[in-house]
Every structure is written in structure tokens, then in C-alpha cells.
Structure 1
Amino acid sequence: MAAAIIPVTPAMNASSLSVSECETIEPSVLSATFFIRRKEYSVYLDAEKLVWERTKSKNDRNSVLIENILAIKSQVRKSSSVSETQQNSHSSVETDTPSNIKQFTIFYAKRVENSSNPNKWRNLSQTFQNNDIQVCQLWIQTLQRQISEQVARPRRLLLFVNPYGGKKRALQIYDGIVKPIFQLAGIDATTIISQRSNQIRDFIMTQSLEHFDGIVCIGGDGTFSELFNGFIFRTLKDLGYDDITNVDEMPKINDKQLIPLGCIPAGSTDTVAYCLNGTCDVRTIALNIALGQVNGLDLSSVSNQNGRLLKFYASVMSYGFLGDVAIESEKFRWMGPSRYDYSGFKKLLLNRGYDGEVSLLVDSFANDPLKGPECLENCPVCETTDEPNQMTVIKNTTEIIDDKCNNHERVNAIDDENQPAIHIDIHVMNAKNNTKENTDQCQYVKTINGKFFMVNGANISCACPRSPNGFSKFCHLCDGYIDLILVRHTSFLNNLRFLLAMSSGRNCKITDLNHVEIYRTKKFSFKPTGIQTGASTFNLHSSRVPISNSNDTKHSSVWNCDGEVVLDSDISIRSHRRLINVYRRGMFNAQKDAVVNKSEANIPCCC
């Protein structure tokens, strides 16, 4: 028989192959009978999945995708006097002698069924027994080859552990959950325990990273921010950009050349980890990393009033209430995560408003931030490769170019002192035909003046266990847009309603509140009005903005950037699509799961 890929059918199963055929043929389909817990099962393997079905009961059927198999280990089958529990234990004797192999165990990840959170996964194992040594040898070789072909899986990881974040359980999380999973998957992890602020950034900025397939941190949002800021600035530095004074001139970074970054939650809120995986379950996220579940992620850049790039953020940039909470909570770090509740309650009672001017780029190509779809696993919005915006912005023009943009007059909409004034100053033309046609494709800058309780630029939905819907439920991870949430300064009760809607989202959503507005934009800027702010200097070798000596009067605030404080008030923010690759599977997609289950139901019987 010639060496070729030959399907193994029920009429010619693996047990009928000769030794020479087992060594030369790489079958596209394998079918054989194995014993699982002393019961006979028909087992089927192709390039995508492994299925095992009870021979005498069609209701007992299980399957796992090859991409979800962590490892396979061959074992010597013990005598029948040995208990079944001992046979399936990890203490089973392993051997390098193929002639002794009569069983093997697969270790795989599976989504937790009938769970309150369908995004949770668990690592399981299953042992297959067969007295035919040739059959076991063929199946082991085929499975090992298929696992080795999962090229996205990391083999060498650089792992940072922040033992001081959140409830200070990062070391326990690593030793008890993460390390065993990585060892099972055959991952060589170089572990560094951080002892000071910016140590992670300093290491990434100065050390060689070429030997690593990915970089992961165990910590909170601030730890992950330090990681990806160090990584991006290191990449820019390698490209010859030590200091960027215009973010629009930042070089294009090829996302396929960037090694993936990962965040295992061990912080106070863990917003980023929750949005990337739909859960803060450590075991689930460790499995996603071990299996090489990689996708892109937008980052947003922050520049000061002089245009100098300060840093990037992944979750939210918030001015006002959350900024005050961030800077106030620094005094109470000894309280752990409870410091945010305490500081938040104090600031809520003050009910401060902050005068400012927001300018945002309105883009008719953007999806409606108040409507779906949600960003789920294999999101079609995030997977599009083309840039939706084909418009050219014309600044300071006085010519009417697009009728839909109405006219170039300054439009003031002021109902009372708390109602922001809205100005439209910039018009556009269609970049392709340079005419007034296609009036649906309109892009312009809207300027809003007013008094705000909060100004939030959400790079992701910002959902977390304490706020299931986050700031913007329909915000996407990789679409190149920011959701700008403006919360006007009104009454204490309205602010309380807003916070309650954020925490529950059951009886009331923030979009139902009259004093909340949500815009989807590629970039926006903010500057406080009625106060004087001092300018800070920027140092590329620091991921945090230095404290500046300012003459701010009361009722000025600071920015909360991924849980860290940025003291520059006058800033510009821009979204950068797919700036980094991250380990994430995405939120559970019920429709996709139904399609997978339906396809598995159509698998032909292998007995």
C-alpha cells in the first residue's frame, strides 16, 4: 500500500492496519474501539475534533475540538487489580517504550455547561484503553502531531507577578492554578515577581524579548497597563521613535509581528480581563493562554495639550468623579479593593461638577453605540479588515459642503446652565468624488461645552463583575472606535441613579437616563474651562505622568486612566485599531455554539 492520506472508514478501522502502515500513513480519519472506565466506546478522530460514543448507548456522546486539547500522555496499562481511580490519576507510570503502551490520556478544556456564566472553562481528562499496542501507538502519534500543529500556542512565556495588587493573592493564584496548567501544556514560563512600580515597564524596555512567544502578567488593570505601555513604547523605540509629538504620525505597527500579551486577573476590579474573556475566572483565562487563543485589541493613545504622546490605555479614561476617586483612594491602599467604595462614597456626597469643553469627531460610518450587536466571540464587526472611514476632514472651512451637515454656523443649544452647548465647526467632503453626493457619509467635529459629573472615553465596554453592563454594553474590542460617555452634572439623586444603573443594569440602564449621552468616535479632546492648569513634562522612561505643579482651583479634576492617575487635564485621545495582540477567547456566542453542536450531531457513527 502506498504511503498516502487514506480515510479510515468503519469498514477499515485503525485496528486493521499493519505495523508498517501505522508508521507511514497519516490518516485523515481514525476510527477504533476503546474502553473508558471499563465500558466500550466507539472513538472517532479527524483533523478538527475527537468524538467518543458509548457503543450500546447513543445518548452517551462526548466530543472535544483538537484546538482545545492541552496535552496527551501515554501510559502503561496497569493490572486489573489496580483501581480505576488510580488508572486515571496523574501518578500513572509513563514509559518511553512504545511496546508497553496500551492506554493514553488526553487533557482538554471544556466550557462549563449549565453555569450562570457560560464563559467559564475547566480542564478535564479522559483515558482511553486498548489492548492493541499498534492502535494506541497510531492514535498517540496522530494526536501529538495535531497538537503540535497548533502554532498559536505559546511554548515560552515571560510571566510577571504583581504580589501587591488587589487582595494580594497573585502568588497564590500563580502557584495554585496558573503554574499547573502551564506545566501540563508544556509551557516554559520565566517568572518575575515585581517589587516596585514600573519594574515591569523597565524590564520590557531594556531586556531582549526575542526568545518569548508571549508576555503575561498576573495583576490588575494597572499592572496590565504597565505591561502593554512598556511593550508599545519599546516597539516604537526599536523603530526609531523615542519621542512622539504628533500621534497621527505614529508609525503603523504590523500586528502580526507583535507577540501576544495576556492578563490574568488578580486586581481590584479586573475590568480588562473580564471584557477580554467574559469572566474573571483565573482557570478559564489560564486555559485560554495555554491554548493560544489570540485576537487583536484596540488601544487608545493619550496626548497632552502640546500633542506629546503620554501613554496608552485599554479600558477607560475618566475625568471627574472617577478621577477624584482614583486620586483619593491612593491614600487608603491599605484597605484593599474596599478603598474604592469608601472614596467613591465621599466624592458622591460632594456632588461636584466640572466645567469643560469636549470636541469629538462624529463619523456616520460608526455603529450606533445605543444598539447592538454586542462584541462576542468571532465578532463580525471586529473581524473586518478594511478601514470603514474613507473621509477627508476639512478644517476651518466656511463653505457648505454637505447638506446633511446643515451649515457652517455655530449652533448653540442651551436650555439651562447645566445643559451643554453644542457647536459644529468642521465640515467634510467625500474623499472619492469631492462632491455633495452621498450625503449619508458625513464626518464632522462636534464641540460640547457644559458642566459634567463625568467624562469617560471607553476603549472597551468596561464591564466587570461589579458592573455587568459597564459604561457601554455595545462597545467593541477591535473596531477602531471609542465610546464617549458624557454624564452631565445635575442632582445628587441623578448621580446615584447613574451609579446604581452601572452596578446592576437590571431595572435601569444608563442609556435610559436623560443626563447621559453616548457617542462613538475615533478621537476626542477635552479641556477644562474656567481654570488654569500647569503643563507637565513627559519622560519616555516612565509609564506614569509626572506630578506637575499647577495652580488649579477647586472643582478641577484629574484623569483616571486604567486605574492610574494622569494629572494633565487638557488631553486628546485617539483610538488605534488592533494595536496589540492579546490572549482572549471573547464573550460566549450562543449562535456559534448552536452551529457547532448541530455539526457535531451530523457526525457519522464510527462503530
Structure 2
Amino acid sequence: MKTEKGEQEEPDSVLLRGIFKLGKISHDVLLTSNSVSWTPITPDNPTGERGSERGSDRVWLRDVFAVKVKRRRAAGQQTGGVVLGLCLFCSRRTGNTLQEVKVHLLNTSLSLCHTWVTHLKQLLTGNAHTHKQSVPRQLKVFINPGSHKKQSVLIYREHIAPLFRMADIHTDITITERKGHILSLVKECSLTQYDGVVCVGGDGTVAELAHALVLRAQLDSQRDPDSDLNPVQATLPLGIIPAGSTDIVSCSVHGVRHPITAALHIILGHLQQVDMCSFFSLGRLVTFGFSAMFGFGGRSLALAEKKRWMPPPQRRDYALAKTMASLRPEECQLSFLPANQTHMSGKCRGKKLVSPVSSDQSNAVHGVFLSISIMAIPSLSPHAPRGLAPNTRLTNGSAELITVGNASRSEFIKHLKRYNSQDEQSCLSFVETRSVTAVKLRPHGMVSCPGEGEEEATPSDQSESSFPWNIDGELVEMAHEVVVRVHPRLISLYGDEVEKVDSPTVSCSCI
């Protein structure tokens, strides 16, 4: 594995040196505290002519997650065997994707191989602390058996569990039985023996576990979640093995829907602190989450939940089409605290979306909206490679508030299509994007959408009705005013911050 472009190893002393074969060619192999490097040994040419030269190569120890002695064993033999050399198990990055690769260093000397393995394991243990990583040794794993066409258990057992075993990570696995099962277990069981928690499932599973971890941190700190507006950070990091239909949170920290990539981030201890939001209604905490949609996103999800008997893709497409056919805006009173920054982006560079203001100044808007989104993460997915909220980041302490005004159906479709393109939402006159730290939304009711030639909805006092919210892909019904606050770095996720999903572009399924 070649060194990354522009990356150079800091001067370091050689700890071990030996001759190993890579393939059929002998190499001079060097071990330092940062890497293993090898150079082919080229014999002198008696004629004086230069033979074909092979370049040196290197693997960085920060990308190595296991080292084993390589042996030849007879069929059925479990232990012992003839020593062949040693094998390094490494991670190689291509774009956002991580793949497992193996480097075979062949030498039949048992003492030499054991010496190298001992030194390498010591370095790998210390390397995690040197690079401020958190390499786990004990993990609690929750698997949603209904995710990914009910293949999530198989995905874990065939692709993820072998990697965890190779990295000497011990796991305690729970297969969930119902919605809310994770929350009840995390609130009650002891978590002190674990270095991290992993979920195998879609955005709903991720949302439930993330909320449970943050809520558990408040309870352990003897804080009242309903009254404390400054929650403490979750103590355990969360790893996400994607097994859903969109996997928005996973894509936002991995840049790709790839279970092996997610597992390798966990194994190597790559941690990314992430902002979360708290959602309050009537002075009580409803949930912690990463993103929320009100209006079109909430009503389409509510309709999809009524068709649970349908397969997920068909259910989603049906709900989107039906909600689009009866497109109606919601009348709302919207207040927000702008973040102290200005966004300049894309073709509309220079257009001020939010003027810098002090954090104690609030803005209020009363109007009708087709959609309101509040997102503390970019919300990347194959349907929106740049994200539903491309101007925010995982850990900038603010959320992106996107309001879509009362537009025609064709204009709203144009807005949706832009999530799958490079065009800026801010260039549409009926779309406003603001960077905020808090939002208060008071819904009043659904109003008619002019110019569509359909029957008008009768405005009514819906104070006693519930309004559907889509919070991290989960339907939450709330009848009253909702207050959303952004909390910086509230949870740590295994992964890296990415700019764009590197999977093939997928058309929006509602168009």
C-alpha cells in the first residue's frame, strides 16, 4: 500500500529489520513506530545492466488493525502448524470507502515472526493513544432484524463479526424485538464494561440508540432532561452499521453506505463528535435527534406509516406521490435564534442568507410553508449526495433551518430535484436557508394551496390535533408548540466528516 500523496513519514528510528518474501521476491522490511516499509532486494547484475526496478512500499500502523502469525495447517487442524510468516490486516481508503487488505510477510523462522508480532501488537496498542483514537475492545451491539429486507442479522454475522473477531474485539449482541426495546435496555442495563455501542439498522434504529445514549448520560449525571437545557455529552461513542433504506446519519459520517467501511471506522477508533438537537413540547423533552422535517416530510411519513403492510420502497414512493398530489402548506409561527455567521455558497455566492447577529437576538416569521427542515447534520444520502443541508457541518454548533414557502407543485418539485444536483436551493425565491441555534415552531393549521385547481382545505382550529413530524426518519406526533435547540458535540460517532457521498447518483424517488 503506497503512501498517500504528499504524506511523509516523520524521521523515526528503525525498531526491527528483517528479510521477508512478498510473493516470490525477497524484501528488506523495516519496522518503525509509525509504519512497516519494504524494499525489494535486487541482486547485482554480472553484465552491469540495470534490471527492472521495483519501488518501495509502506503501510502506516494507524491503518493496521491486527497482526497474526501465518501457518500452514492440515484439514481440521485448529492449532499449531508450520510457520509461514506473518500477516498484517489493514484498512485501505478509496474515496470514502474503506476496504480490508492483507499484507503477507513470509519467513519460516518462528522466533523472527514472534518477535515481529510482539513488537507490532505493542505498537498498535500504543498507536491508538498516540493518534488520540479510541480503539474499542468491548462493544455492545444492537441489531434490528427487520432492517435491510430482514437481512441485517446475516450482514452482521457474515461481514462484520469476522472483522471484529480478527481485531480481538469482544461483542455482546442483542437482537431487538420491538420499537423502544433499545431505549428500555440502555436506560436499565450497566454500560460500564463497554468501550462503545454499535447498531445495525436504519435511521430509526440509529435515532433510538442515539437518543437513549444521551438520555442515559443525563440520568447518570442526575440531571432532569425536562428542565436542564444544557445536556451533558453521551459517555459512549456510537457506531453505525448501515442497514436501512437511506442511512442518512451513516452517510453523513462515512460518506458511503458500506457496512465494511463502517466496521473499519469502529475497529480503528475513528471518532467524530457530532451536534444533536433536543425537541421539547409543553416544557417536556420529547427526544434528542439529528434532524427533523415538518410539513411535507412529516405528512408523507405519516401516510407511509399507515401502509406498513407494503414493502418499504413501494410504501415510501406511494406516500410521497399521494402527499405531492394533495400538496398543502401549513400555517406556522416560526421563531429562531440565528447563529453568528453568514453563509455564502454556490451560484448565489454573495447572497446573504443570515446577517451576523448577537446570540440573544431572535427573529420571528408568521406565514404558510410547504416544508420546514431543521438539520444539525448535512444529512447526506444517495438521493442527496451534497446533503439535504449542505451548508451545515457535523460539529459547527448550529443547525440549518430550511423553509419552503407557499409555492406551486411544479416549483416544489423543482426544489426537490435540486437536492440531486449541484444547484443551490438559496437561488429559489420561495426557499430560505438560515443557520440557527434554536427554533420555536407553533403550527396553526393547514391552508389551501392556490392555483392548483383542487378542492380547498377548510382552515380550522387544530389546537387539539396532532401534527406529524419526521425526526430522523421516525414519526412523532406533536399537537403543540415545539422548541428545538442545538447542542454542540453532544455525541461521538465512529467515522469522519465528509463533504459528499461518493456512491452513484440516485434520482429522487418522488419525482
Q: CA deviation at 1:200?
A: 0.7
Tell me the residue number matched to 1:200: 182
Contact 1:453/1:489 (<8 A) preserved: yes
- The aligned counterpart of 1:383 is none
Alignment of 1:291 with 2:268, yes or no, is yes
1:47 aligns with 2:33: yes
User: Which residue of structure 1 aligns with residue 296 of structure 2?
Assistant: 321
Shift of 1:343: 0.4
Contact 2:395 2:489 in 1 (8 A): yes
2:405 partner letter = R
| 8 Å contact kept, 1:166–1:336 | no
Residue 71 of structure 1 aligns with an amino acid whose one-letter code is: A
Corresponding residue for 2:158?
A: 176
Alpha-carbon distance in structure 2 between the residues aligned to 1:462 and 1:108: 29
Partner of 2:350: none
AA matched with 2:481:
D
Q: Match for 1:336 among 278, 289, 312? A: 312
SS of corresponding position for 2:210: helix
Counterpart in the other structure of 2:351 = none
Q: Distance in 2 between matches of 1:72 and 1:367?
A: 49
- Which segment is superposed worse, 329-338 or 471-480? 329-338
- Residue 285 of structure 1: SS of its match in structure 2? helix
Q: Percent identity?
A: 27
Whether 1:217 aligns to 2:194 is no
What does residue 237 of structure 2 align with? 260
For residues 82-481 of structure 1, the aligned pairs below 5 Å read 95=80, 101=83, 103-112=85-94, 118-149=95-126, 150=128, 152-245=134-227, 247-248=228-229, 250-253=230-233, 258-304=235-281, 306-314=282-290, 316-333=291-308, 334-364=310-340, 366=341, 368=343, 370=345, 444-481=361-398
| Whole-Å separation in 1 of the counterparts to 2:243 and 2:437 | 31
2:476 is aligned with 1:560? no
Shift of 1:92: 9.4
Per the alignment, in what secondary structure is the counterpart of residue 306 of structure 2? helix
Q: Does 1:34 align with 2:38?
A: no
1:466-503 alpha-carbon deviations (Å, 9 max, x no partner)? 2112222131101111010111121011111011112x
CA drift of 1:292 comes to 1.3
In the alignment, what sits opposite 1:593?
none
Q: Which residue of 2 aligns with 1:489?
A: 406
Whichever structure has more strand as a proportion of its residues is 2
* Residue 168 (structure 1) shift: 2.0
Q: Deviations over 1:422-470 (max 9, x none)?
A: 9x9xxxxxxxxxxxxxx98675211112111100001111110121122
Q: CA deviation at 1:241?
A: 2.7
Q: Deviations over 1:505-548 (max 9, x none)?
A: 14x332332211111111111111358xxxxxxxxxxxxxxxxx
2:171 maps to a residue whose letter is A
CA distance in 2, matches of 1:346, 1:37: 60
Shift of 1:194: 0.6
Give the counterpart letter for 2:343 in structure 1: D
Contact 1:353 1:452 in 2 (8 A): yes
How far apart in 2 are the matches of 1:196 and 1:123? 34
Secondary structure of 2:149 counterpart: coil
In structure 2, C-alpha distance between the alignment counterparts of 1:476 and 1:147, rounded to whole Å = 31
Matched, 1:515 2:430: yes
Deviation at 1:355, TM superposition (A): 0.9
Amino acid paired to 1:291: L
Distance in 2 between residues matched to 1:148 and 1:580, nearest whole Å: 24
Q: Give the Cα–Cα distance (whole angstroms) in 2 for the partners of residues 172 and 58 of structure 1.
A: 46
> Partners in 2 of 1:58 and 1:359 — Cα distance?
68
Relative to structure 1, the CA distance from residue 34 to residue 342 in structure 2 (aligned partners, 3 Å threshold; closer, same or farther) is same
Say which of 48, 68, 72 aligns to 2:67. Answer: 72
Tell me the C-alpha RMSD between the 2 structures: 3.0
- CA-to-partner distance for each residue in 1:378-417, whole Å, 9 max, x for gaps? xxxxxxxxxxxxxxxxxxxxxxxxxxxxxxxxxxxxxxxx
Deviates more, 1:152-161 or 1:579-588: 579-588
Taking the aligned partners of 1:153 and 1:226, their CA distance within structure 2 comes to 24
* Cα gap change, 1:312 to 1:442, in 2 (>3 Å): closer
Cα deviation, residue 35, structure 1? 0.6
Determine if contact 1:359/1:446 at 8 Å carries over to the other structure.
Answer: yes
Summarize deviations over 1:147-196 as a string: whole Å, max 9, x none.
22225211111101001134222112111211111111111111111111
User: In the alignment, residue 208 of structure 2 is paired with which amino acid?
Assistant: E
**Equivalent of 1:505 in 421, 436, 439:** 421
Partner of 2:490: 579
Alpha-carbon distance in 2 for matches of 1:512, 1:300? 27
Closer, same or farther: CA 441–319 of 1 in aligned 2, 3 Å: closer
Q: Deviations over 1:119-139 (max 9, x none)?
A: 011101121123555443332
Quote the residue 1:380 is aligned against. none
Structure 2 CA distance for aligned equivalents of residues 49 and 491 of structure 1? 59
SS in 2 for 1:476: coil
Asked if the contact 1:76/1:94 (under 8 Å) is kept, the reply is no
Is the 1:74–1:95 Cα contact (8 Å) retained in structure 2?
no
Determine helix, strand or coil for the equivalent of 2:172: strand
Distance 1:181 1:449, change over 3 A: same
Tell me the amino acid that sits aligned with residue 484 of structure 2.
I
2:439 maps to 524
Structure 1 residues 119, 187: closer, same or farther in 2, change over 3 A?
same
Rounded to whole Å, the distance in 2 between the matches of 1:308 and 1:28 is 60
Deviations 1:326-382 (A, max 9, x none): 111012223213311210111111121111121111233x3526479xxxxxxxxxx
Matching residue's letter, 1:552: Q
- Residues 495, 456 of structure 1: alpha-carbon distance in 2 compared, 3 angstrom cutoff: same
Contact 2:381 2:387 in 1 (8 A): yes
Cα distance in 1 for residues equivalent to 2:105 and 2:421: 47
Matched to 2:216, the amino acid is R
| 490-499 vs 466-475, which moves further | 466-475
* Contact residue 218 and residue 232 of structure 2 kept, 8 A: no
Distance 1:510 1:293 in 2: 32
1:193, 1:551 → 2: CA distance? 44
Looking at structure 1, the residues matched to 207 and 498 of structure 2 have their Cα atoms a distance apart, in angstroms, of 21
Which residue number corresponds to residue 409 of structure 1? Answer: none
- Does structure 2 conserve the Cα–Cα contact (< 8 Å) formed by 1:106 and 1:125? yes
| Distance in structure 2 (CA, Å) of the matches to 1:588 and 1:324 | 29
Q: Structure 2: how far apart are the matches of 1:131 and 1:252?
A: 54
What secondary structure sits across from 2:361 in the alignment?
strand
Displacement, 1:62? 3.1
Specify the alignment match of 2:3 in structure 1. Answer: none
Cα deviation, residue 33, structure 1: 2.6
Which blocks of at least 5 consecutive residues in structure 1 are unaligned?
1-25, 79-85, 113-117, 373-421, 425-438, 532-549, 590-607
Larger of the two Rg values belongs to structure: 1
